Amino acid sequence: MAQPKKKKFDWKFVALLPVPLLWAWLAQEGKLQTVENMLLDLRFRTRGELAAPVKIHYVNVDTDAIRSIGERPWNRARFAETATLLYEKGGAKAVGYDFVFSTLGQSELVNPQKAFEGNRALGLLARKHRQTVLAAQYTVAEEGVTVRGTRQFPLLRLGFTNREKNDVPELPAHPIISPTFTPAIGLIDFDYEIGGDATPRWAAMFAETNGPVYWHLAAQLTCIELGLPPGSMRRAGDELELFKPDGTVVRRIPLHHQQLLEVNWFSAWHSPHNPVTSMADVLVAGAMLASDDEAKRKEAEDYFTRFRDAIILIGPTDVLLQDLAPTPFDREPVPKVSAHGNLIKTIVAEKYLRRPPDWVMWACVLGLTAAVTGLTITGGARSLASKVLALIVLAGFVGMALFLFAQANLVLPMAAPLGAAFTTGFIATIWRLLREEQQKGRIKNMFGTYLAPELVNQMVNSETDPQLGGHEDVITAYFSDIQSFSTFSELMPPAQLVELMNEYLTACTDIVQAEKGTLDKYIGDAVVAIFGAPLPVPDHAYRACVATQRVQLRIEELRQKWRSEAGKWPPVVHVLRARLGLNTGSAIIGNMGSRTRFSYTMMGDNVNLAARMESGAKSLGVYTMCTEATRLECEKHGGDHVVFRYLDRIVVKGRTQPVPVFEIVGLKENVTDKTRECLAVYAQGIERYLAQDWDGALQCFAQSAALEPNQPSKAMAIDTNPSLVLTKRCHYMKEHPPGANWDGVYVMKEK
């Protein structure tokens, strides 16, 4: 038995290598950063929120707070008052401001004395509570305020390595900072360029200037949380070390580009893990502490307990302050101050996002692409199993990336590997499909002239070589033969005979295949076909009957054509007629022959019976004859569209059981009224014939004989018709009565 051929890798597909290389190059150049950010955000949402490792409380300068402290420019004494309450009444561990209280943020319309007093109050707060961290920033002042020049953040990745030339950030105004006192300063900058979108993802942890080193706000507050003085940090290569006064390192923060730390987002802004309070509520509760009403004082005291041992972040949250940005958990912009809180949590929990080296991205791109494309190619363009397996590989890669992120904070590149695998796999599939179509086209062209199109398609689509063997199925067998074909062979030279037969056989075959029949073989002038195999055709009997009538009509058209070609054909061609036989039943269908050469064919008693219908049609004076099984199956699907005439109940040669046989008279729309009258009278004659009323039958058959569509004519090569055959039969029966037990069966003497 032939075995399925193993698929071989087509090395021409190596030409697809530039596709994954292009994806890898785009990723390396940062062209896929937007997509990579989206996939990173997906990982955050899939992982879910994490419990806070440190108590952080946000005090918002929201709409209520603005109503309380008044419209800008704000008196900074109110911020000092808020922090004082948080420290002295709430027991806060540290307070960090997400505001740069600089001169650039102070309008010239403000009374200088009031501004000075407000700054002085904030400075006094910072002196008293050294765990207060004030903000500094490398930004241009907002529109509408005095601009004293731009400040460029000294990013090492951009070449700002000479600290003597680096700008100093925008700092709090005098007298918050004075010649005798400098409070703890924290940068609030994020590197949006490397982040690639509006989400604050990468924080610049320090800025080296010609003066001091400025540390990030989150790092300063983390020092306080860990019990270290603000500024207890130093850069050590690609790490930022937090150390005790004795030099002991308590945290090693891995840095990207020697300066940047990626935020590991722990939760959404609106989350149980993110307690928030309006600055207005803090001020109101502070006022309540001085109330004469003991209940109000108690309420205020209870209110301030929420801040105990918490790191407080005071930042702008009102929409009009325009300090909002999306986060991986928040598609709609939320206060940016949340980025500082998540950065503190990242450092305290030491859950740093880790990025593999660049070669890992290239390896993922090439490896995943090779796996997916290899499955696509080796499985074939239409192989469902290989496509499912390729999708499983892709899903496995995505699952691995999600797992490593959730369990190890490892950020595997996804955009380029998935994009390369999808693109290359798709191109390979299309390429393979086109090549397979070309190959199938060649096979169809080669074998389509020998086999039925359905069989060729089945052979092409199969993953295995044709094999010997068959199966039993119900089909309708079709046989046709030219009347007196030996005469044609005698009167025509071989070349002309071949031309005639090719035209005739083409016409017959086209109709058979149009009705979903499968050509079995040609035997000289004979056409053998199968209806209902190899592909199932539920109405195969009906289609076979229709095919016989279409063939007969087409032969009539050919006769007229041949007559019109004066002198080309001998007269016998002008009256060419064919007899067709059908039978429906169970048969063996499959590849039969030797192991080296076989054909798709049918075998069995029902096939032989169909052949007897074709040969026996001559004895009953018809040109298309079928069994009762075919008629019944035809009427199930075609109703009365095909017109039948009961002919006889016969025992064909080689069989012992009688078979009712019918003439296929024609299609309903083509049967004339005269023919219908003939059939009705003929049916009456059959009734009397079966009742052994020979004279009555002869009278009916005499009437129907005059109405028969096929009248005997030597010129038209018509010898007889059913009415004349039964007339002759009645005369014989009249002379040789069959007896009282006669069942109407006629035994055929010829094939």
Q: Residue 523: pLDDT above 70?
A: yes
The helix or strand, by DSSP H or E, that contains position 673, with its residue range, turns out to be helix 673-690
**What six digits make up the tokens of 451?**
């086999």
Query: DSSP letters along 406-467, please?
Result: HHH-B----HHHHHHHHHHHHHHHHHHHHHHHHHHHHHHHHHTTTS-HHHHHHHHH-SS---
Q: Is 703 helix (H, G, I), strand (E, B) or coil?
A: helix
First to last CA, the chain: 38
Angle, CA of 31, 35 and 40, to the nearest 5°: 125
CB contact at 8 A, 229 and 195? no
Count Cα neighbours of 384 within 13 Å in the Cβ-side half-sphere.
1
pLDDT confidence tier of residue 450, bands split at 50, 70 and 90? low
More confident call, 554 vs 748: 554
As beta bridge partners, residue 251 has 242
Using alpha carbons, list the distances in angstroms from residue 565 to 491, 500, 505, 571.
17, 12, 19, 11
Out of 12-26, 105-119, 142-156, which region has the weakest mean confidence (pLDDT)?
A: 142-156
> What phi and psi, each to the nearest 5 degrees, are found at residue 746?
-115, 130
Out of 350-364, 543-557, 652-666, which region has the weakest mean confidence (pLDDT)?
A: 652-666
pLDDT confidence tier of residue 490, bands split at 50, 70 and 90? confident
Q: How many residues does the chain have?
A: 751
> What phi and psi, each to the nearest 5 degrees, are found at residue 5?
-75, 140
Q: Is 268 helix (H, G, I), strand (E, B) or coil?
A: coil
Q: Residue 512: pLDDT above 60?
A: yes
Query: DSSP letters along 250-262, please?
Result: EEEEE-BTTTEEE
Tell me what pLDDT residue 462 has: 57
Q: Residue 362: pLDDT above 50?
A: yes
pLDDT confidence tier of residue 491, bands split at 50, 70 and 90? confident
- Quote the mean pLDDT of the chain: 90
pLDDT in tens, 185-219: 999 999 999 988 999 999 999 999 988 999 999 99
Give residues with Cβ within 8 angstroms of 160, minimum separation 6: 152, 153, 154, 166
Q: Rounded distance, CA 142 to CA 73, Å?
A: 13
CB contact at 8 A, 440 and 51? no
Q: Residue 32: pLDDT above 50?
A: yes
pLDDT confidence tier of residue 439, bands split at 50, 70 and 90? confident
> What phi and psi, each to the nearest 5 degrees, are found at residue 128?
-75, -40
Give residues with Cβ within 8 angstroms of 446, minimum separation 6: none
Q: Name the one residue in this structure whose structure tokens are 């002008």.
A: 574
**What six digits make up the tokens of 221?**
């507050």
**What six digits make up the tokens of 34?**
């937007």
Q: Residue 73: pLDDT above 90?
A: no
Tell me what pLDDT residue 8 has: 53
pTM, full prediction = 0.64
pLDDT confidence tier of residue 1, bands split at 50, 70 and 90? very low
Mean pLDDT within 600-611? 93
The β-bridge relationship of strands 249-254 and 239-243 is antiparallel
The β-bridge relationship of strands 249-254 and 276-278 is unpaired
Return the axis-axis angle of helices 384-408 and 415-447, rounded to nearest 10°: 170
Query: DSSP letters along 304-366, please?
Result: HGGGTTPEEEEEE-SGGG--EE--SS-SS-EETHHHHHHHHHHHHHT---B---HHHHHHHHH
Using alpha carbons, list the distances in angstroms from residue 674 to 20, 678, 707, 710.
77, 6, 6, 12
Give residues with Cβ within 8 angstroms of 143, minimum separation 6: none
pLDDT in tens, 100-114: 998 876 655 667 888
Q: Residue 464: pLDDT above 60?
A: no
As beta bridge partners, residue 60 has 278, 315
Tell me what pLDDT residue 673 has: 96
As beta bridge partners, residue 648 has 661
Q: Residue 388: pLDDT above 90?
A: no
Tell me what pLDDT residue 146 has: 41
Tell me what pLDDT residue 10 has: 56
Q: Residue 605: pLDDT above 70?
A: yes
Q: Rounded distance, CA 166 to CA 741, Å?
A: 125
**What six digits make up the tokens of 696?**
């009555």
Using alpha carbons, list the distances in angstroms from residue 466 to 1, 435, 590, 593.
9, 22, 10, 12
Mean pLDDT within 134-161? 75
Tell me what pLDDT residue 236 has: 93
More confident call, 67 vs 461: 67
CB contact at 8 A, 612 and 653? yes
Give residues with Cβ within 8 angstroms of 248, minimum separation 6: none
Out of 69-73, 313-317, 584-588, which region has the weakest mean confidence (pLDDT)?
A: 69-73
CB contact at 8 A, 411 and 405? yes
Q: Is 187 helix (H, G, I), strand (E, B) or coil?
A: strand
Tell me what pLDDT residue 147 has: 45
Q: Rounded distance, CA 456 to CA 446, Å?
A: 10
Sign of CA dihedral 566, 567, 569, 572: positive
Tell me what pLDDT residue 438 has: 77
Task: Tell me the one-letter amino acid at 569.
Answer: W
Tally of CB atoms within 10 A around 28 = 15
Give residues with Cβ within 8 angstroms of 27, minimum separation 6: 36, 361, 365, 413, 415, 416
CB contact at 8 A, 599 and 521? yes
CB contact at 8 A, 174 and 119? yes
Q: Specify the long-range contacts of residues 266-269, CB closer than 8 Å, at least 24 apart.
A: 266/49, 266/50, 266/51, 266/52, 266/342, 266/345, 266/346, 267/49, 267/50, 267/52, 267/329, 267/342, 268/49, 268/327, 268/329, 268/330, 268/334, 269/327, 269/329, 269/330, 269/334, 269/335, 269/338
Q: Rounded distance, CA 151 to CA 165, Å?
A: 12
Mean pLDDT within 405-409? 96
Tell me what pLDDT residue 2 has: 41
- pLDDT above 90 covers a percentage of the chain that reads 74
Tell me what pLDDT residue 591 has: 84
Which CATH class for the 466-670 domain? alpha beta
pLDDT in tens, 218-273: 999 999 999 999 999 999 999 999 999 999 999 999 999 999 999 999 999 999 99
CB contact at 8 A, 387 and 373? no
